[in-house]
Amino acid sequence: MGNSAGRSDFEWVYTDQPHTQRRKEMLAQCPVARLCYVVSWKVIFTYTVTRPVDSPTLRAPSASQKDPEYTGCIEWLMQGSALLLLGFQGLETPGWVCGSVVFSSEDSVHTWPQVEKAGRCSLAHRAACRDADTLDYSLTSPVCIMGTVILSGRVAKYPAIKALMRPDPHIKWTVTGMVLAQLLACWLARGLAWRWLFFWAYAFGGCVNHSLTLAIHDISHNTAFGTGRAACNRWFAIFANLPIGLPYAASFKKYHVDHHRYLGGDGLDVDVPTRFEGWLFCTPARKLLWLVLQPFFYSLRPLCVHPKAVTRMELCNALVQLAADATIYALWGLKPMVYLLASSLLGLGLHPISGHFVAEHYMFLKGHETYSYYGPLNWITFNVGYHMEHHDFPSIPGCNLPLVRKIAPEYYDHLPQHHSWVKVLWDFVFDDSLGPFARVKRVCKLAENRL
């Protein structure tokens, strides 16, 4: 069963994803802030070293060395330098208090200091924070000065871009309206003939449910209530999940973080098809079947590629969804439940909106692994087509992604882009060079602790 699509393996690369470098360029370093950064840390180093340090790690002074007045001065000094650094960036002051720490002379302003076990940040934590455009990944270490170091040397080349990193004020009401619309459709579906039920499930319900999955994608980046209210975002995503019929939101959040952090990462990014999919679905007929079965592969692939322990939020998601499904069945019977499930399966399968699954990261041109689409279907998909911009700045909600391209057109206008998701699906099926193998894969060094 050979691969007639012309590809027998993925496109393997050994470089970092391009979104990291582009984000660093657009959030360019300011010389004044850099000088402030160096001076501040030199001052901290001078006034906090109280004994020789024999390892290149951060240490807290021992109990015998801690003097209340001395420690208070140190904390004020560190907080002052933190405020000074953040002031150059126009950022809000984080709600944390810095502790007294001691740097060894081997630490450099060009490195990210390690922290002793008592207040340790994992490598994954530091990598995520170093590459994040905002503090989207919450800081759990008690040595909270790390939060200042992460953004200390950067002042936006385009200040307006940082202003876009705020919650979407409309997504709550849009999602609520879509959920209520599907509940109304369930009530109307009670008396429909089966053929019309499936027609409307594809034509209307498929659009709404697929759009809700993309709303859940947006909410997974804390765009509904902001990063300070993560729990509200998680529960609102579960609410948006109700018309889909199957629990989805909590599991999506758990795996989507890895998709951004390890784009194309072998064994880490579950958005990349398995080798079995690439080997089997290699002819036009099989690729068409693969598109029809996309919901099943998308939901089952994580269990094979990168299984993770079930979380408490996933259990809550399943219980809430089961209760909602049971209520709909008890009130209105079987047909409304069939309508919701058919809407999800048909809308996420061979459907015009499903073109975004292929358009986003399949390698239509060699050397390009992410593509944007700027067409009208963005209006009902929370601008998921602006995918290059989204991966550059995951904390910017979909409603603001068009402004990123408008603010910095020189970074995006010259890049290859799609003009039709329907054409993307057509080309994927009938172009021999395309198939599940047409993805970039990279070997990622997995951090000590997966978040």
From first to last of the 451 residues of the chain, give the pLDDT tens digit: 344 446 767 777 766 677 766 776 776 655 555 555 455 545 544 444 333 434 333 333 444 444 444 445 554 555 555 444 444 443 333 333 233 222 222 222 222 233 223 333 333 333 444 343 333 333 332 223 322 332 333 335 788 898 999 999 999 999 999 999 999 999 999 999 999 999 999 999 999 999 999 999 999 999 999 999 999 999 999 999 999 999 999 999 999 999 999 999 999 999 999 999 999 999 999 999 999 999 999 999 999 999 999 999 999 999 999 999 999 999 999 999 999 999 999 999 999 999 999 999 999 998 899 999 999 999 999 999 999 999 999 999 999 999 999 999 999 999 999 999 999 999 999 999 999 999 999 987 764 344 4
Name 181's Cβ contacts closer than 8 Å, sequence gap at least 6: 208
The residue assigned the tokens 């790390």 is 146
Report the run of H or E that residue 354 belongs to, with start and end. none
Chain Cα centroid distance, residue 339? 30
* Pure H helices in 369-437: 387-392, 401-407, 421-430
Residue 34: both structure tokens together: 């850099």
Query: What DSSP string runs through 61-128?
Result: PPTTT--HHHHHHHHHHHHHHHHHHHHHHTPPPPS--PPP-B--TT--TTS---B-GGGPPPHHHHHH
Report the run of H or E that residue 442 belongs to, with start and end. strand 440-442
Q: What local confidence, expressed as pLDDT, does residue 444 receive?
A: 78
Type of residue at 421: W
Q: What local confidence, expressed as pLDDT, does residue 16 receive?
A: 67
Q: What local confidence, expressed as pLDDT, does residue 11 receive?
A: 74
Give counts: helices (H), strands (E), the chain.
20, 4
Name 111's Cβ contacts closer than 8 Å, sequence gap at least 6: none
Which of 291, 276, 191, 399 is CA-nearest to residue 10? 276
CA distance 327 to 341: 15
* 8 A C-beta contact, residue 394 and residue 133: yes
Beta strands in 276-407 (DSSP E): 372-373
Name 257's Cβ contacts closer than 8 Å, sequence gap at least 6: 451
The residue assigned the tokens 């207040």 is 119
Q: Quick one: CA dihedral 150, 154, 155, 161, positive or negative?
A: negative
Which of 41, 31, 33 is CA-nearest to residue 112? 41
* 8 A C-beta contact, residue 293 and residue 348: no
Q: At what angle do helices 230-241 and 206-219 cross, to 10 degrees?
A: 170
